[in-house]
């Protein structure tokens, strides 16, 4: 980058990429804890299962993101589902199979899978 015009072009390109990441208030957000503790507990296959399920179902209003430590390491892998107009729901000890059920029940049909939540955990 040698000119102000090149910097402006980079800025414009990055702005359009950020817009495609789903900052729309009507989007459903799924956030997977991918800190060291989450990865060690199996978060990567969970993230992959969520992304695959969202793609297979063609859910264009769902944005899947990663975050660092959510703070409850003993309950990893953790997944937050944030639906517009609703409180965040935190799922614990998520497996790829549980992730698929969360997508089908909660994200698609609006029914929280209570037995997988931090409040429903029977550990």
Q: Where are the domains of the chain?
A: 24-116
Of all residues in the chain, the percent with pLDDT exceeding 90 is 70
In this structure, are residues 61 and 110 in contact, taking their beta carbons and an 8 Å threshold?
no
The span from the CA of 79 to the CA of 3, in Å, is: 43
Output the pTM of the full model: 0.78
Task: Provide the pLDDT for residue 20.
Answer: 43
Is the per-residue pLDDT at 18 higher than 80?
Answer: no
Task: Provide the pLDDT for residue 12.
Answer: 79
Contacts of 54 (CB under 8 A, 6+ apart): 30, 62, 64, 103, 107
Task: Provide the pLDDT for residue 106.
Answer: 97
CATH topology for 24-116? Glutaredoxin (3.40.30)
pLDDT in tens, 58-113: 999 999 999 999 889 999 999 999 999 999 999 999 999 999 999 999 999 999 99
Task: Provide the pLDDT for residue 7.
Answer: 83
Q: How far out from the chain centre does Cα 104 lie?
A: 14
């Amino acid at each position: 980058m040698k000119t102000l015009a090149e910097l402006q072009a980079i800025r414009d390109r990055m702005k359009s990429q950020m817009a495609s990441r789903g900052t729309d208030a009507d989007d459903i957000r799924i956030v997977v804890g991918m800190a060291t503790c989450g990865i060690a507990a199996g978060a990567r296959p969970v993230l992959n299962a969520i992304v695959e399920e969202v793609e297979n179902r063609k859910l264009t209003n769902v944005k899947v993101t990663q975050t660092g430590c959510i703070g409850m390491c003993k309950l990893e892998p953790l997944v937050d589902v944030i639906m517009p107009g609703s409180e965040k729901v935190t799922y614990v000890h998520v497996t790829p199979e549980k992730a698929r059920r969360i997508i089908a029940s909660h994200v698609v049909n609006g029914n929280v899978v209570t037995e997988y939540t931090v409040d429903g955990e029977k550990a």
